[in-house]
Chains A and B, each alone.
Chain A
């Protein structure tokens, strides 16, 4: 079975500091991995995705994530936090042989302190 674990339901960083949001997955076959962002009162939008090409994936708004198979991780990073990055972030996994489902983590709420 597939699952996603996001460590830390709330993360606070100072403006300009490194953002690190953690995601670990469980999958018996190579997965597709995604990070989505949800701003208040909005739906989710894609930040970036890993689909078995380069292990370091660059996304929108300066975010990137690295797929580490040995650690079953797909952590999201950004070198310098902006106030506009305050939002809820979701990691998700899907595999093509599971009956076509997405599995989302429980989310991490990012607060950026001025």
Chain B
């Protein structure tokens, strides 16, 4: 089954404690991206990757890091989480960014206290 898998689904952490949210896709997609969803703001892109070892900033990259060492995986790293990073996070993948369907993970609800 074609899917994008994110882990964990729910996470509560404390300010400053490094965390990683994993994302894996089994569709051999080249393009992957991370979004955060906040009430009234819709989805905002954090980072995206066009292929292995190619990543770039989206609209709200501050406080986040990503890596793309393998085609299927695109982890999101919060080196020092802060309460304003409490949000719902989605990973997505597609064959290309422009005119093809993006497949989304189930989401990770992160709370930073």
Contact = CB atoms under 8 A, between A and B. Distances in A.
A104 B40 CA distance: 12
B42 A104 contact: yes
Contacts of A61: none
Given A101-B45, A102-B45, A32 B105 contact: no
Contact of B40 (A9, A49, A101): A9
A99 B56 contact: yes
Interface residues of B, number: 27
**Chain A interface bracket (under 10, 10 to 19, 20 to 34, 35 or more):** 20 to 34
A90 B90 contact: no
Nearest to A4: B42
Interface string B41-60: 11111001010000010110
A106 B37 CA distance: 9
Residue in A36, A43, A105 with the greatest tally of chain B CB atoms within 10 Å: A43
Contacts of B101: 34, 46, 49
Contacts of B58: 101
B106 interface: yes
A12 interface: no
Given A46-B101, A102-B45, 4 more contacts: A43-B104, A49-B99, A100-B96, A107-B42
